[in-house]
Amino acid sequence: MNNEQTLMSTIWPASSTAKMARNIVLAVLGSIALWVSAKVQVTFLYVPMTLQTLVVLGLGVAMGWRLAGSTVMLYLAQGAAGFPVFAGTPEKGIGLVYMAGPTGGYLIGFVIAAMLVGYLVQTGASKNVFKTFAIMVLGTAVIYVPGAVWLANFIGLEKAVEFGVMPFLYGDLIKAALAAGLFPAIWMLIGKSKA
């Protein structure tokens, strides 16, 4: 794999001694962004949805696979410890009880998707609108698969797809398009500022 710099390492370069401190700060800030995005609900075509998938995939684009995966795992650890970081918490339970509930598969998908997107963008794909869009759509699909499979244990596969995937497709395509416009534009701005 090409070890091209990530967006965050380009914006905030650090020496090898300061790199760990920078990554800790970024992981904590990223986990807070996930927490906030879980609580922000947007209604699109009568379907309430959070901004979490956009933040999960955005972390992958901005941080690369290792740091994005670590950030999402930190977020899950916060939730497992009982902090009300997930959508629907504390109303629908907290901690491991919530994580083992119907939406637990999506949480697993978050880690896989952030790492996959991060891996793919480290090849330079986040500098191109079309490649970024394709990567975001792929990342979304990676969230849907374990999410729907886990949800199927509670309501059956057909209903899991009907209620856990279909209502969110249009909104997630819009999120992918937003990211496809945003991240290449940031790279372009960085390039102009260094020129």
Select from 109, 85, 87, 93 the least CA-distant residue to 160: 109
Give residue-wise pLDDT tens across range 101-147: 999 999 999 999 999 999 998 887 778 899 999 999 999 999 999 99
Contact present, 111 and 104 (Cβ < 8 Å): no
Contacts of 61 (CB under 8 A, 6+ apart): 7, 117, 118, 121, 126, 132, 135, 136, 179, 183
The full set of domains in the chain, from first to last, is 7-190 (1.10.1760.20)
Give residue-wise pLDDT tens across range 163-195: 999 999 999 999 999 999 998 899 888 876 765
Contacts of 178 (CB under 8 A, 6+ apart): 54
Whether residue 93 is predicted with pLDDT greater than 90 in this model: the reply is no
